[in-house]
Amino acid sequence: MANSVSLRVSGALDQVRAVVEAALQPEGFRFTWEHAGQGIVEKGTRTKAMLLGVFATHYKYHVLLRPQPDGTVVVELGLATTGLSGGAAGAVKLRRKLDEVGRILTTAFQSSGSLVSPAQ
């Protein structure tokens, strides 16, 4: 189970951001962008997770889009919460969902023809 996901993709920052949003919004994620290249991706609420534990959904990840000198963009997602408001099982659930989000994004960028590689 991952603590972060990192992909190197081609395209302008706005195009990359659009692919990320298009891939994750159907999964129920909402976005809060601090600026064009940094924000929060979230599904569910912390309050429900605290009240209902592992039976509630709350996933919260940082997203960072970093333009590179070669014209590519590195897409990074990392944990924005421990998941412990849902108990120990909630922490495991949070990391497993991050693995799934990574697969969804990889597929979306492959389908758009813009996946360069998993970033190092």
Locus of tokens 């924005």? 80
Decide which of 11 and 118 is more confident.
Answer: 11
Return all residues near 86 (Cβ < 8 A) that are at least 6 apart. Answer: 49, 50, 52, 53, 54, 56, 58, 93, 94
Provide the edge-to-edge strand list for the sheet that holds 58-67: 30-35, 38-44, 58-67, 72-79, 4-10, 115-118
Spatial separation of the C-alpha atoms in residues 41 and 31, rounded to whole Å: 5
More confident of the two residues 20 and 80: 20
Residue 72 is encoded by which pair of tokens?
Answer: 């590519």
The pLDDT score that the predictor gives to residue 115 is: 93
With bands split at pLDDT 50, 70 and 90, how would you rate the model's confidence at 54? low
Of the pLDDT bands very low, low, confident and very high (cuts 50, 70, 90), residue 3 is confident
Mean pLDDT throughout 78-98?
73
Name the residue with higher pLDDT: 13 or 84. 13
DSSP structure class, residue 120: -
pLDDT given at position 41: 95
